[in-house]
Amino acid sequence: MNQHTPVTIKDIARKFKCSPSTVSRALNNHPLINEDTRRNIQEYAQKVGYQRNSVSLSLLNQKSNTLGVVVPSLNQFHETAMIEGLQNILQANGYMMTICVTNESYTLEKEYVEKLMANRVEGIFLSVSQETYDSGHYQHLENILHRNIPLIFIDREFDGVPTNSIIVDDYWGAFTATEHLILRGFKRIAHLKGPNGLTVSEKRFKGYKDCLAKHQIAFDENLIITTNFKAESAIMPMHRLMSLENPPDGVFAVNDVVASAAMQVIRDLGFSIPQQVAIIGFDNSPFSAYMFPSLSTVNRFGKLIGEEAARLFLNNLNLQTKQNETIVLPPELIIRSSTLS
Amino acid sequence: MNQHTPVTIKDIARKFKCSPSTVSRALNNHPLINEDTRRNIQEYAQKVGYQRNSVSLSLLNQKSNTLGVVVPSLNQFHETAMIEGLQNILQANGYMMTICVTNESYTLEKEYVEKLMANRVEGIFLSVSQETYDSGHYQHLENILHRNIPLIFIDREFDGVPTNSIIVDDYWGAFTATEHLILRGFKRIAHLKGPNGLTVSEKRFKGYKDCLAKHQIAFDENLIITTNFKAESAIMPMHRLMSLENPPDGVFAVNDVVASAAMQVIRDLGFSIPQQVAIIGFDNSPFSAYMFPSLSTVNRFGKLIGEEAARLFLNNLNLQTKQNETIVLPPELIIRSSTLS
C-alpha cells in the first residue's frame, strides 16, 4: 500500500471483504456490530493510519452519533440532573452529547440549533429559553422538524410545535406544597417567588395563589418576596417579612437554595422551625435532606425527565410513523421536619 | 434575482459593494463590524432568503466562533461554576460553547476532542478525566496542539503537555483546612475522603496527612472514611465513627455535600457543633453558608478559573508567539460557625 495515499474506508472494506458501511459502523462503535469484527477493523485501521474526516463524512450524510442538548442554564441542580439522566441512557447506547447553554437568550438558542443541525446531530433535546417564549418566535424549532431531526422538549415545551415532550407540572407542585402547609394548620403563608416574568416563577406563583383561594385564605401582597433564585436575594426581604407586626407562620420558597437562606434568617431572629414558622422548598436538591431542620420540598424528577426523554428518542428511532407524546410528570411532595411540628 | 438559485455571500457582497468576508462577519455577529452595517446586511440576507451552510463553510476553513469545553462531570457545583465563568467572558465576545461530559472516561474524552476538532472549534478548554491519567495516553491532547488549536487546561492538567493551564492547589487547600482545625485546638481529626484512586481525592488526603505529620499528630487509619462524593455515602460510616470509644473531635470532609450529611449524623447523635466536634468542608458551594451551623469550607474559585481561562485564551489570540502559562490559584479558607467555638 502506498504510504502517501491516505487509507480510505473502501480500502479497509476490500481488506475485510465487507461493505464500507460495515467498516464505518465498526469504526463508530455501532451497537449492532459484532464485537470481534469491530475490534479487528479498529485495530487494522489504527495500524494503517486511517484518519476519519468527520466534516466530509457529515457532508455525505453519515451518522454523527451525536445528540444536541440545549438548556437555559446549568446553575440549578435540576438542569444537571436532567443531563445526568440523558447520559445514563444515551452514552450506554453509543451516543455522545453536545450541551449548549442559552442563558435564556432567543438569539443563542437559535444559533445553537442551527449549529447543531449543521453538525448533523441525530436528535435535539431542548428546554425553551424565556426570551423564546417572550418573542413568540419558533421557526428555528420547526426547522428541526422540517429537517426530520427528532426534537424532544425537556422540562419546558413550546405549545404548537408538534413533537415529544417531557415536563413536570410546576403549577401543581406549587399548589401541593402550599396545600400541605395549610393542611398542617399554617394560615399566613409567605411566598418567596422567582424572577418576575419567568414562566416557571409565574406558574408556581399561580399555584400558590389558587391554593389560597381554594381554602378561602385572602391573598396578601405584603407576603410576596421576589428573588433571583439565589440565596443572597432572600436575606434582606426575609428580615423585613419577619419584622412585620403580623409575620408569616409558613413560607413556600421557589427553590431549596432560597429556602435555606430564609431558614437562616428565621433561626437567627429566634423563631423556631417548624413550630412558629414552617417552610417548604422546591427541587429536592441533594443537600435539602441535610439542612437543619431537614427541608420539606417538591421533587421535580430531573434525572427521570432525562432518562424518559432518552427512552422516547430511542423508541421513536424504531417506529415507522413517529408518535408525538407529551408526558407530564406529577411532582412529588417530600415531607421532612421543616413542616412537621 | 432568480428565485431558484440560492443566494450566496458573494451576491450580498456585490449588493453592498463590500468584500465577502465583511458579509460573513456581519452574518456571524463579529464584534468588529459596525452596528448599522451588520443590521443592514442581516436584514437583506433574511429578505432574500440567504441560508448559511456551516459544514461547507468549515471546510473552507472559515471561523466557527465555537469553543469546546470538556469536563469529567457536571454533578458538582465546581464544574458548573467554571462553565459559568467561561460563559461570562466568552459569550460577551461572540463565542458559543459546546460542552462535553466524559464521565472520567478516556475513550469519550478522546472521541469528543476529535469531534470538536472536526467541527473546527477555535479553542478547547479541558479538565483531564481520571482514566486519561490512569492510562497515561495523551496523544489526543498533543493532537490539539499539532493542529494549532489553543488548548487550556482547567482545574486538571496533564503534566508534559505544554500549554496553558489554570488549576487550584487542592493539596494546599486540604493542608490549610486541616491546620485550621488543629490551630483551633482539635486534635483527633477524621477525614471523609473522596473515591480511592481519584487524583483529586488523593491530593486532599495527602494534604491532610502531611499536615498531621507537621503537627506531630499520629495518623489513625480508623479515622478515614471513603465516600463517593455524595451525601448518602457518608451516613453509615459517620455513625460508626462517632460510636468509637474515642470519637473524633474534628472532621475534614472532601466536599460540602459530604460535610452536610456528617453534620446531620453528629447533630442526631447529640454532639454539639463545633464545641464537641468541629467540621470543615471543601467547595464553598452556595448552600454552605446556610447550613446550621454555617459550614467552614475551602473556596476553589470555580467561576474565577473559568473567567481567567477565558482571558488567557483571548489574550493569546493577539500574541505573535504563544506563551504557555500555568496559573495555580491558592484556595481560600472560609471560616464560619462550624469550626468557631
Q: What is the pLDDT of residues A280-316, one digit of tens each?
A: 999 999 899 999 999 999 999 999 999 999 999 999 8
Which of A54, A87, A290 is facing B264, going by the closest CB pair? A290
The single residue listed with the C-alpha cell 478559573 is B305
The stretch B245-252 carries a mean pLDDT of 97
Query: What digits encode the pLDDT tens for the residues B150-170?
Result: 999 999 999 889 999 999 999
Residue A231 and residue A151 share a domain: no
As given in the structure block, the three cell numbers for residue B329 are: 490559584
Q: Is residue A2 part of a domain?
A: no
The pLDDT-based confidence of B2 (bands split at 50, 70, 90) is very low
Decide if B91 and A103 are in contact by the 8 Å CB cutoff.
Answer: yes
- For residue A256, the chain B residues in CB contact (below 8 A) are 287
Task: Determine the structural domain holding residue B20 and report its residue range.
Answer: 9-52
Q: Is A280 within 8 Å of A177 (Cβ atoms)?
A: yes
Can you tell me the distance from the alpha carbon of B310 to that of A73, in angstroms, rounded to the nearest whole number? Answer: 19
The pLDDT-based confidence of A64 (bands split at 50, 70, 90) is confident
As given in the structure block, the three cell numbers for residue B313 are: 485564551
Q: What is the rounded radius of gyration, in angstroms, for the C-alpha atoms of chain A?
A: 25
Q: What is the CATH number of the domain that holds B125?
A: 3.40.50.2300
The single-letter DSSP state of residue A102 is -
Residue A110 and residue A156 share a domain: yes
Of A41-50, A117-126, A150-159, the poorest mean pLDDT is in A41-50
In 3D space, the residue among B324, B332, B86, B300 whose CA is nearest the CA of residue B200 turns out to be B300
Residue A296 burial by Cβ neighbours in a 10 Å radius (0-12, 13-18, 19+): buried
In 3D space, the residue among A251, A200, A265 whose CA is nearest the CA of residue A229 turns out to be A200
Decide if B257 and A287 are in contact by the 8 Å CB cutoff.
Answer: yes
Q: Is residue A258 part of a domain?
A: yes
Q: Is residue B3 part of a domain?
A: no
pLDDT at B47 over 80: no
Domain count, chain A: 3
The pLDDT-based confidence of A48 (bands split at 50, 70, 90) is confident
CA angle A153, A158, A160 (to 5 degrees): 115
Residue A206 and residue A175 share a domain: yes
Residue B20 and residue B162 share a domain: no
pLDDT at res. B3:
42
- For residue B291, the chain A residues in CB contact (below 8 A) are 260, 287, 290-292
pLDDT at res. A337:
97
Q: How far is CA A262 from CA A116, A267, B208, in A?
A: 41, 9, 34
Name the residue in chain B with its Cα closest to that of A265: B290
pLDDT at res. B57:
44
- For residue A80, the chain B residues in CB contact (below 8 A) are 74-75, 80
Q: How far is CA A226 from CA A131, A192, A253, B202, in A?
A: 20, 6, 10, 43
Min CA distance, B79 vs chain A (Å)? Answer: 10
Q: Is B230 within 8 Å of B258 (Cβ atoms)?
A: yes
Which of A55, A59, A96 is facing B111, going by the closest CB pair? A96
pLDDT at B264 over 70: yes
The pLDDT-based confidence of A224 (bands split at 50, 70, 90) is very high
Decide if A99 and B103 are in contact by the 8 Å CB cutoff.
Answer: no
Query: Which span out of A13-22, A41-50, B305-314 was modeled with the highest average pLDDT?
Result: B305-314
The stretch B306-313 carries a mean pLDDT of 96
pLDDT at res. B290:
95
Min CA distance, A78 vs chain B (Å)? Answer: 10
Q: Is residue A97 part of a domain?
A: yes
The stretch A271-279 carries a mean pLDDT of 97
Which residues partner with A97 through β-bridges? A67
As given in the structure block, the three cell numbers for residue B222 are: 480508623
Decide if B286 and A98 are in contact by the 8 Å CB cutoff.
Answer: no
Residue B181 and residue B155 share a domain: no
Query: What digits encode the pLDDT tens for the residues B177-215?
Result: 999 999 999 999 999 999 999 999 999 999 999 999 999
Which of B52, B111, B287 is facing A287, going by the closest CB pair? B287
> Around Cβ B31, how many Cβ atoms within 10 Å?
9
Min CA distance, B267 vs chain A (Å)? Answer: 9
> Around Cβ A47, how many Cβ atoms within 10 Å?
9
Can you tell me the distance from the alpha carbon of B295 to that of B334, in angstroms, rounded to the nearest whole number? Answer: 9
The pLDDT-based confidence of B61 (bands split at 50, 70, 90) is very low
As given in the structure block, the three cell numbers for residue A227 are: 428573588
More confident call, B242 vs B57: B242
Residue B130 and residue B96 share a domain: yes
Can you tell me the distance from the alpha carbon of B211 to that of B215, in angstroms, rounded to the nearest whole number? Answer: 6
Residue A235 and residue A204 share a domain: yes
pLDDT at res. B6:
63
pLDDT at B326 over 60: yes
pLDDT at res. B1:
41
pLDDT at res. A59:
45
Extract the runs of DSSP E, i.e. beta strands, from chain B. 66-71, 96-101, 124-126, 151-154, 164-168, 189-193, 224-226, 250-253, 278-280, 297-299, 326-329, 332-334
Min CA distance, B100 vs chain A (Å)? Answer: 6
pLDDT at res. B9:
79
Query: What digits encode the pLDDT tens for the residues A127-185?
Result: 999 999 999 999 999 999 999 999 999 999 998 899 999 999 999 999 999 999 999 99
Backbone phi, then psi, for B187, in 5-degree steps?
A: -120, -30
In 3D space, the residue among A64, A9, A66 whose CA is nearest the CA of residue A41 turns out to be A9
Q: Report the Cα A79 to chain-centroid distance in Å.
A: 4
Decide if A96 and B74 are in contact by the 8 Å CB cutoff.
Answer: no
Residue A309 and residue A290 share a domain: no
In 3D space, the residue among B298, B311, B236 whose CA is nearest the CA of residue B268 turns out to be B236
Residue B162 and residue B309 share a domain: yes
pLDDT at res. A6:
63
Q: Is residue A109 part of a domain?
A: yes
Decide if B55 and A54 are in contact by the 8 Å CB cutoff.
Answer: no
More confident call, B218 vs B316: B218
Query: What digits encode the pLDDT tens for the residues A174-223?
Result: 999 999 999 999 999 999 999 999 999 999 999 999 999 999 999 999 99
pLDDT at res. A38:
84
Which of A103, A112, A286 is facing B87, going by the closest CB pair? A103
Q: Is residue B233 part of a domain?
A: yes
Which residues partner with A193 through β-bridges? A226
pLDDT at res. A43:
85
pLDDT at B60 over 50: no
Can you tell me the distance from the alpha carbon of B235 to that of B269, in angstroms, rounded to the nearest whole number? Answer: 12
Decide if A75 and B84 are in contact by the 8 Å CB cutoff.
Answer: yes
Residue B161 and residue B72 share a domain: yes
Full 3-state SS string of chain B: CCCCCCCCHHHHHHHHCCCHHHHHHHHCCCCCCCHHHHHHHHHHHHHCCCCCCHHHHHHCCCCCCEEEEEECCCCCHHHHHHHHHHHHHHHHHCCEEEEEECCCCHHHHHHHHHHHHHCCCCCEEECCCHHHHHHCCCHHHHHHHHCCCCEEEECCCCCCCCCEEEEECHHHHHHHHHHHHHHCCCCCEEEEECCCCCHHHHHHHHHHHHHHHHCCCCCCHHHEEECCCCCHHHHHHHHHHHCCCCCCCEEEECCHHHHHHHHHHHHHCCCCCCCCCEEECCECCCCHHHCCCCCEEEECCHHHHHHHHHHHHHHHHCCCCCCCCEEEECCEEECCHHHCC
Name the residue in chain B with its Cα closest to that of A100: B98
- For residue A230, the chain B residues in CB contact (below 8 A) are 286
pLDDT at res. B51:
61
Q: How many CB pairs under 8 A join A and B?
A: 129
The single-letter DSSP state of residue B163 is S
pLDDT at B44 over 70: yes
Min CA distance, A221 vs chain B (Å)? Answer: 27
Residue B216 and residue B128 share a domain: no
Q: Is A255 within 8 Å of A76 (Cβ atoms)?
A: yes
The single residue listed with the C-alpha cell 479515622 is B223
Among A52, A98, A285, most B C-beta atoms within 10 A, so best to mutate, is A98
Can you tell me the distance from the alpha carbon of A200 to that of A192, in angstroms, rounded to the nearest whole number? Answer: 13
pLDDT at res. A56:
44
Residue A172 burial by Cβ neighbours in a 10 Å radius (0-12, 13-18, 19+): middle
Backbone phi, then psi, for B294, in 5-degree steps?
A: -60, 140
Q: Is residue A76 part of a domain?
A: yes
Angle between helices B35-47 and B9-16 (to 10 degrees): 120
Which of A55, A99, A286 is facing B118, going by the closest CB pair? A55
Q: What is the CATH number of the domain that holds A27?
A: 1.10.260
pTM of the shown model: 0.79
pLDDT cut 90: percent of chain B above it: 72
Q: Is residue A84 part of a domain?
A: yes
Which of A83, A111, A263 is facing B96, going by the closest CB pair? A111
pLDDT at res. A51:
61
When the pLDDT of each residue in chain B is averaged and rounded to a whole number, the result is 90
Residue B187 and residue B158 share a domain: no
Q: Is A299 within 8 Å of A259 (Cβ atoms)?
A: no
Which of A112, A264, A294 is facing B290, going by the closest CB pair? A264
Can you tell me the distance from the alpha carbon of A260 to that of A262, in angstroms, rounded to the nearest whole number? Answer: 5
In 3D space, the residue among B48, B45, B81 whose CA is nearest the CA of residue B308 turns out to be B81
As given in the structure block, the three cell numbers for residue B268 are: 442526631
